[in-house]
Every structure is written in C-alpha cells, then in structure tokens.
Amino acid sequence: TVIPPSREETLKKFQPAITLKGDPITGQNHYISRCMACHRAGTMGLQVGPDLITVKTKGRDALLTAIIEPHKEVAPQFIAYTLSTKDGATFTGIVAQDDASSVTLKMMGGLQQTIQRANIQGTQSSGQSLMPEGIEAGMSEQDMADLLTYIEDLK
C-alpha cells in the first residue's frame, strides 16, 4: 500500500513524541476527546477498534504509527466494510457477526446495525481500518506524548 506523503510527513512531525516525557492525566483527556468513541481503555470507552490495553504492548513507536497511519497495518477483524441495501441505505463498519441470514456491522461510536442478507444489494471493502486519518489534527508533539504515555500506563 502506498502511503500518501502527507501521512509520512505527519509521522515525521510527531516523532519527538516518542522520546518526550508525557503526562498520563493530560493524555487521558486526549483519549476521551479523540479515541473513546471507538477504543476501550480499561473500563472506559467503546469496543469498536482494538482495546488499547492490548495494543500498548507494541511500544510507543508502533502506537504512534497506528495513530497517524491507521490503514498501514490492519488486523482482519478490524477491516471496514460498506454494505448497501436494496432500499438505498449505506452502512460502514466492521463485521461483528456474519451468518446465513444477516450481517451485523459495528460502526463508529459503538452503534450496531444488523442487515438481513435478502436486503443487501452490495458489499465492498477497501481493506482499510474504520479509524479515520487525521485524529492527530490540532495536537502538538507534547499532546501526542501525553496520549502515548496514558496508553502505556493502562492496566
């Protein structure tokens, strides 16, 4: 997959966050405002994407890359799918359940939508994450260091 130069430049810009000392309390505020709608951290947040306690073991470098370039490496269970229905509706999410009669998508914000197979017009996937690029918009390198420290300190 070719990564747009803007993502590479953004990753370079935030590299100092890997070595900066972060404040986990401030980092928790960034988690609440930017990550909580899709990621669980301990007892907080929704379980749409990976639980942050499990991803923290990858280390700061890999965490930063996952935040800045969410489509670079996506586990199969977190690949986004778009389903279109015969009545013209479109739903995008990760497959939570797939059986002979229906497909249930888990969408951003934790919402789930079950679509009967008989009503599905089409299914497609870009092979990318549901997580949008640009979560870091408006953050400084220190803000990112705070978020990384918060994630690292999760128990």
Give me the phi and psi of 77, to 5 degrees please: -75, -10
Task: Give the tens place of pLDDT for each residue, 58-81.
Answer: 999 999 999 999 999 999 999 999
Q: Residues 15-55: pLDDT tens digits?
A: 999 999 999 999 999 999 999 999 999 999 999 999 999 99
Residue 129: inside a domain, yes or no?
no
Q: Are 58 and 71 in contact (CB under 8 A)?
A: no
| Residue 17 and residue 40 in one domain | yes
Digit-coded pLDDT (tens) for 143-153 = 999 999 999 99
CATH code of the domain containing 43: 1.10.760.10
Is 67 contained in some domain? yes
Q: pLDDT, tens digit, for every residue of 98-130?
A: 999 999 999 998 999 999 999 999 999 989 999
The DSSP bridge partners found for residue 20 are none
Task: Say whether 130 sits in a helix, a strand or coil.
Answer: coil
Domain around 104: 80-124
pLDDT number for residue 2: 61
Q: Do 60 and 89 reside in the same domain of the chain?
A: no
Distance, CA of 39 to CA of 49 (rounded, Å): 5
Q: What's 103's domain CATH number?
A: 2.30.30.100
CA distances from residue 32 to 28, 46, 49 in whole angstroms, order as listed:
6, 11, 15
Residues with Cβ within 8 Å of 125's Cβ and at least 6 positions away in sequence, in order, are 79, 80, 81, 82
Give pLDDT, residue 5: 52
pLDDT at 95 over 80: yes
